A and B are shown apart, each in its own frame.
Chain A
């Protein structure tokens, strides 16, 4: 089955700096890679996703890059703000009707004002 490794487990940055979280996956058949953000006391919420037919996707201050050859993908947050502080999870799956997501271990991001 799929195995997803996520690094770092904790990340502390100054407000305004950039943050990068990296994930690697094991199953070369995986073609869908979402990122979820979990704020304190809440459930995870999808913030951005990427499919294997593209190498990069951006949405305002967040972007995700995918390297299928190396089987890794990354979340980039620019101009970090205190409200970016949360736990972030990457995941991978085949995006077909029956396949489940495999999640990474999570990264706790702390943005210091």
Chain B
């Protein structure tokens, strides 16, 4: 099984619908992240969490919310999806130690299309 599992892998939805992307990990890492990938723009940070009670906005948090249900689970929600949220979304984890804090383990991605 993958260290970081994302569901669904692909989703097509309509404008205005609520969407949840889920992420679970078996790495035992404290830190979890949600990134968005668009062509030419690299990976942009949406939200991150350093532990179960910690939630922080990233570079592009508008229109998104997250929930850290447990150390191993971190979900991303789009309350009312819009077409420009069409993208590839990645969940990632990292250790909290000094040498591992910036070493990210990514899931395989969730491709979201908003019509």
What is A's interface to B at a CB cutoff of 8 Å?
A: 4, 6, 9, 32, 34, 36, 41-46, 49, 89, 93, 95-101, 103-106
Contact = CB atoms under 8 A, between A and B. Distances in A.
Contact of A105 (B40, B48, B92): B40
Given A34-B103, A41-B108, A101-B102, 4 more contacts: A44-B90, A97-B98, A98-B50, A103-B43
Nearest to B39: A106
A6 B103 contact: no
Chief secondary structure at chain B's binding surface: loop
B58 interface: yes
B25 to A, nearest CB: 12
Nearest to A4: B42
A44 B106 contact: yes
A103 to B, nearest CB: 4
Chief secondary structure at chain A's binding surface: loop
A93 B102 contact: yes
B102 A32 contact: yes
Contacts of B58: 100
Please indicate which of the listed interface residues A32, A44, A105 has the most CB atoms of chain B within 10 Å of its own CB: A44
A44 B102 contact: no
B80 interface: no
A34 B90 contact: no
Given A97-B101, A100-B48, A45 B106 contact: yes
Contact of B101 (A4, A46, A95): A95
